[in-house]
Amino acid sequence: MNQAKKDYIFYSIVMIFAIFFLASTPQIQSTNQSFIIGPATWPYILLILMIFLGLYGIVSTLIKAKVMKSEELIAKEEAAPVKKIFHLSIPVVSLLVVIIYVLLLNVIGFIFSTVLFLYGITLLLGTKKQLTAILFSIITMVVFVILFSVLLQIPLPRGIGVFRELSLFFY
């Protein structure tokens, strides 16, 4: 994908974003009519400016793309060999792991989800030894719990049900 195509997509997303919010702005009903400028005015100003800039971006990309074509300058593709797992690149897999971790956090609590997450992601990112990954994930979790929950008294997510009861033993 060349730069012009990327820009078209970017500005289109901006336009969609702005139009979506613009469509939901009339729902803002001020309960207090004594103000000259209601709560919807400011968002209207921002969104109209955003649409204007999005249009400007598309038009300027059009002009630029034409100039580029006449000079026959086509951006080179970055085609570095990428390591893949299940046809997905490492950052995407990592992202999925992070999302699973965050979702589990509210169900099985900080202790278990953190250990599982750390174990999985450490192996994914290239730690070779199983033992290192296991020790690292358990020790790190313990340090975090002691540092934040016990010493700084910050309540960490406990999860639900059995996991909640279990976490109460530790923090």
Partner 1 sequence: MLDYLISGLLNVVTDPINLIMLIAAIFIGYLGGAIPGVSGTMLVVIMVPVTYSFEPDSAFILLTGIYAITAFSGAISAILLRTPGTPEAVVTTFDGYPMAQKGQPGRALGIAIFCSVVGGVIGTLCLMLISPALANVALSFSAPEYFALAVMGLTVVASLSGKALAKGLIGVLIGLMISTIGMDPLTGTLRYTFGSSALLSGIDLIPVIIGLFALSEFLKKTTESHAVQEVISNVKTKLFEIEIFKKIKGTMARSTIIGIFVGILPGIGATTASMLSYSETVRWSKEKEKDSYGKGNPKGIAASETANNAAAMGTLVPLLSLGIPGGATAAVLLGAFVLHGMQPGPTLFSTEPELMYTIFAALLIANLVMLIVSKPFIKIFQKIVNVPYSILGPLIVVFCVIGTYTVRNSYVDILIMVVFGIIGFILEKYRFPLATIILGVVLGPLTESQFRRAVEMSSGDFSIFFTRPISLTLLIISALMLFFPLISGLFKKRKNQEQEG
Name the residue nearer to partner 1 (CB basis): 50 or 166.
Answer: 50
171 near partner 1 (CB under 8 A): no
Residue 74 beta carbon to partner 1: minimum distance, rounded to whole angstroms: 18
Q: Kindly tell me the sign of the dihedral angle through the C-alpha atoms of 20, 25, 27, 28.
A: positive
Q: Which of residues 39-68 bind partner 1 (CB under 8 A)?
A: 39-43, 46-47, 49-50, 53-54, 56-57, 60
* Residues at the site binding partner 1, with contacts judged by CB under 8 A: 6-7, 9-10, 14, 17, 21, 24, 28-32, 35-43, 46-47, 49-50, 53-54, 56-57, 60, 82-83, 89-91, 94-95, 98-99, 101-102, 105-106, 114, 117-118, 121-122, 124-127, 136, 140, 144, 148, 152, 154-157
